[in-house]
Chains A and B, each alone.
Chain A
Amino acid sequence: MKTVQLSDKDGTQLLDEQDKALISLIQSGLPICSRPYQSLGEQIHMTEDEVIARIQRLQETGCIKRMGVIVRHRELGYRANAMVVWDVPDEKVSEVGNCLSQFEFVTLCYRRPRCLPDWPYNLFCMIHGHSREEALQNLEQMIGQCKIESEHKVLFSRRCFKQRGAVYQPEADSEFAGTIAAPRQTNGAR
Chain B
Amino acid sequence: MNLTAIEKRLLNEFQHDFPLVPRPYAEIASSLGVSEEFILEALEKLQKAKAISRVGAVFTPNRVGVSTLAAMAVPEDRLDEIAGIVSEYVEVNHNYEREHDFNLWFVLTAANEEHLQDVIGDIEENTGYKLMSLPLQEDYHIDLGFNLQWT
Contact = CB atoms under 8 A, between A and B. Distances in A.
Number of chain B interface residues as a range? 35 or more
Given A75-B1, A107-B146, A69 B91 contact: no
B123 interface: no
Given A5-B111, A161-B87, A77 B144 contact: no
A115 B25 contact: no
A137 B16 CA distance: 28
Given A5-B111, A167-B90, A161 B96 contact: yes
Interface in A35-78: 35-38, 48, 52, 55-56, 58, 62-73, 75-78
A36 B43 CA distance: 13
Contacts of A159: 83, 96-97
Interface in B55-71: 55-60, 62-67, 69, 71
A58 B113 CA distance: 22
Main secondary structure of the interface of A (DSSP, over half): mixed
Contact of A166 (B59, B88, B103): B59
A113 B137 contact: yes
Interface string B134-149: 1111111111111111
B46 to A, nearest CB: 8
Interface string A93-111: 1100110110010111111
Contacts of A27: 56-57, 59
Given A69-B15, A168-B109, 19 more contacts: A4-B64, A23-B64, A27-B57, A34-B23, A34-B25, A66-B57, A68-B16, A69-B43, A69-B55, A75-B1, A101-B141, A108-B143, A157-B96, A161-B84, A161-B106, A162-B87, A166-B65, A168-B110, A185-B88
A115 B73 CA distance: 14
B51 interface: yes
Interface in A5-45: 5-8, 15, 23, 26-30, 32-38
Interface of A: 2-8, 15, 23, 26-30, 32-38, 48, 52, 55-56, 58, 62-73, 75-78, 83, 93-94, 97-98, 100-101, 104, 106-113, 115, 118-119, 124-125, 128, 130, 153-171, 173, 181, 184-187, 189
Contacts of A6: 63-64
Contact of A112 (B26, B40, B137, B151): B137
B146 A71 contact: yes
A10 B16 CA distance: 26
B33 interface: no
Nearest to A38: B22
A163 B49 CA distance: 14
Contacts of B59: 23, 27, 63-65, 166, 168
